[in-house]
Structure 1
Amino acid sequence: MANNSDAGKQKPNRPSTESKNHHVFLSGALSGIIEGLTIQPLELMKTRFQINPGQPLRLLPTARDILREGGVRQFYRGSLPEIVGLIPRATAALSTLEFSRRELRAAGGGGQLGAGAAYLSGALSGVTEGLAFAPFQVIKVRLMAKEHLGRYRNSWDCLTQVVRQEGLTALATGLGPTLWRNCIWNSLYYGSMYLLTGEG
């Protein structure tokens, strides 16, 4: 006789793909904000180093110069575009990743993705991520640059001045290298994670 002790028990529901993606998005956005705020002072100094046309800068003198410009708060100049840009950045990357995986899986007969398709879907997510985040990066760098001190009151003022004086294409400055970087990184990261975990 069959044991009825488990008859009333239900198997726990596994989280849906939509719920899982929602949690991934939220955790990714939160970790991105924490990361951005943590490394922002170093990011500011790195940007100063990269766009300095004269003699190479040194870390401690540059930090002292930034403190003299506006105190500790000055180290976080340009952080708002970075944080706000995390939303379209994460949305573009994850939605493209899921869409491309779904389409590539359907094209392959509905089974697991092969290595090529897994890496391709990651690379495609890097394209939309770069396109979505590029304008925020441009505004961030403009605010960080020492030669622009006093030119822009805030992020919105910087955006309006750039568009008015240089056109919308100025918001795509540096897009080429950004797309290459994102495609390579996203392809390796998301492709490898998919192949290692078998999830998608």
Structure 2
Amino acid sequence: MPERRAGQRISRLAVLGIAVLGLAGCGSGPRPEASPSTGAPTFLDLVRASSPAKQLRFRPVLGTAEGVSTGTPPRERDRQSTDPAVQQRTLRSFACGSTRPDPLTGEDDADLPLVTCARSGGVRYLLGPAVLDGSAIKSAGLGEAQGNTGFAVDVTFTPDGSAKWAELTAKNVGKTIAIVVGAEVIIAPCIQQAMPGGRAQISGWFSLSEAEDIVDWLDAQ
């Protein structure tokens, strides 16, 4: 991949408006990187296991909860309820950090809300229906993350994906959007302004090899 390194490592922050998906401001979300002490899967492990690419979804964040869950553990169908009262009860009672596989991994309905956890297990999320998924991504390239936090993946959306991305960011300025892989929130960055250009950047302290592998995975879909 030497040719891609030479051609795509140049930072394009000014052109793409990358600060829109910065990890600061209205919601930082979980750091998309495994703790060496836990042996938890990395973002790269998760995207490799998620095929087709539609399992990578963009969902607006409607609410969050932290700390110990309270109440009776919810039924699986409650996690995708459209009833606001059930959603709030499920958000309070859903427990993160289970060692068992999540039964909704790859099985959640993209058209329904979703109560789920950050990959790190520290935050519970109530998410709205998916606005777009990995099939809206036209191409991916290697970039450099803002603030010297490693490498990143620059994403170009399809024409339809670009329109949905522009609408999503315009309607959610000052709010957070969750990037979900296999029903798990990988990162929930803050949207600071509308992005009509059909481009974005996924960053998360990736090493060069991790970012290159993610680009390969996205381009292969």
Question: TM exceeds 0.5?
Answer: no
With normalisation by structure 1, the TM-score equals: 0.27
Higher relative contact order (CA 8 A, sep 6+): 2
With normalisation by structure 2, the TM-score equals: 0.26
Kindly name which structure, 1 or 2, has the bigger radius of gyration based on alpha carbons.
1
More strand per residue: 2
More helix per residue: 1
